[in-house]
Amino acid sequence: MRNTYLQFLQLVTGIFIAVLLGIHMVIMHLDAILGFFGVDVTEATSWESMIERAGQGVWAGLYIALLAFVLYHALNGLRGIILELAPSATTERIVTWVIIAFGIIAFIGGTYVPLALLAGQELS
Amino acid sequence: MKQIQPRQNYLGPGGWVWAGKYKLERYLYLLHRITGLGILLFLLIHLVMTTIFRIQGQDVWEATIALLHNPWFKIGEYLVAAAFVYHALNGLRLILQELGFAMGRPTPPIYPYKDSLRKKRPWTIALVAVIVILALVFFYDFIAGGW
């Protein structure tokens, strides 16, 4: 039963990721086409543009939400593939805990930086 | 989940590719898995870049971005964008299917049979066409972006 809920969360996070990552991809990669429609997002990866977005709470919130959804979706997907290749109770225990630990560490690391930038911490 | 008997007919990853005649949907599934693993690999690199490198300030950030303008990274970046387009749209198809939408009305099993996959196949092919078009749009932008 537990795996049913995990799989259902996989669908739900998938939908959120499609929307949020869709926005991210369009801004990062479709600058020439957006420019054609009069939206100027050139050099989204420049330091100034990145810091400007990082200083806005909405962007920080969206990125942190995206990080949470993506980490769940990616790691749960990987868990499914590994358990399909090597199904056993031991593998399941090890893989599940390693993935949970990795996910928490990645989430803390990935949340700390946007929060620090949002707080306007002086960077060298 | 104790394994009582070894799985006699288990083909391993080779079976993902071929275990007899596979239809279109099976290869879409295989590609879904490959793109998923590829995006996961990119995610790890991307997280390192946007955390460990970004927190070190403007100089390190700009050096990293300059490194990523290398043509090989550009090709990789395009592949990630295309993989995302594929994984997202095929994933939406799988969600609709798993939740039972767009399955069509049930029909009596009278020859010639029309199973649910065959009924949906025109939509599947249309979706593949949309994915190809979007991948080309991203490709255009990568070229136009003056890489």
Q: What is the ipTM of this complex?
A: 0.87
Whether residue A124 is contained in a domain is answered as: no
Residue-range definition of the domain harbouring residue B40:
23-105+112-144
B40 touches chain A (CB under 8 A): yes
Average of per-residue pLDDT across B117-137: 91
- Give the residue, A39 or B77, on which the prediction is more confident: B77
- Give the residue, B94 or A27, on which the prediction is more confident: B94
Whether residue B29 is contained in a domain is answered as: yes
From chain B, the residues in CB contact with A77 under 8 A are 36, 40
B5 touches chain A (CB under 8 A): no
- Inter-chain contact B2–A88, Cβ cutoff 8 Å? yes
From chain B, the residues in CB contact with A17 under 8 A are 88
Query: Which pLDDT score, from 0 to 100, does residue A124 have?
Result: 45
The total number of structural domains that make up chain B: 1
Whether residue A94 is contained in a domain is answered as: yes
Whether residue B7 is contained in a domain is answered as: no
Average of per-residue pLDDT across A68-85: 94
Closest residue in chain B to residue A10, using alpha carbons only: B95
User: What distance in Å separates the CA atoms of residue A25 and residue B80, rounded to the nearest whole number?
Assistant: 10
User: What distance in Å separates the CA atoms of residue A117 and residue B55, rounded to the nearest whole number?
Assistant: 8
Whether residue A112 is contained in a domain is answered as: yes
B99 touches chain A (CB under 8 A): yes
Mean pLDDT, chain B, as a whole number?
86
Q: Using one digit for the tens of pLDDT, what is the confidence trace for B62-112? A: 888 888 888 888 899 999 999 999 999 999 999 998 888 877 777 788 888
Evaluate if residue A78 carries a pLDDT over 80.
yes
Residue type, B10: Y
- Inter-chain contact A25–B91, Cβ cutoff 8 Å? no
Whether residue B8 is contained in a domain is answered as: no
Residue-range definition of the domain harbouring residue A108:
2-118
Q: Using one digit for the tens of pLDDT, what is the confidence trace for A44-71? A: 777 888 887 888 888 889 999 999 999 9
User: How far A12 CA lies from chain B's nearest CA (Å)?
Assistant: 9
Whether residue B4 is contained in a domain is answered as: no
What is the secondary structure of chain A as a DSSP string? Answer: -HHHHHHHHHHHHHHHHHHHHHHHHHHHH-HHHHHHTT---TTTTSHHHHHHHHTSHHHHHHHHHHHHHHHHHHHHHHHHHHHHHS--HHHHHHHHHHHHHHHHHHHHHHHHHHHHHHTTPPP-
Whether residue B88 is contained in a domain is answered as: yes
Whether residue A69 is contained in a domain is answered as: yes
Whether residue A123 is contained in a domain is answered as: no
Evaluate if residue A9 carries a pLDDT over 80.
yes
- Give the residue, A101 or B2, on which the prediction is more confident: A101
Whether residue B129 is contained in a domain is answered as: yes
Q: Using one digit for the tens of pLDDT, what is the confidence trace for B26-56? A: 999 999 999 999 999 999 999 998 888 888 8
Closest residue in chain B to residue A45, using alpha carbons only: B65
From chain A, the residues in CB contact with B52 under 8 A are 109
From chain A, the residues in CB contact with B74 under 8 A are none
The total number of structural domains that make up chain A: 1
- Give the residue, A117 or A108, on which the prediction is more confident: A108
CATH number of the domain bearing residue B139: 1.20.1300.10
CATH number of the domain bearing residue A96: 1.20.1300
Whether residue A15 is contained in a domain is answered as: yes
From chain A, the residues in CB contact with B36 under 8 A are 74, 77
CA A93 to chain centre: 25
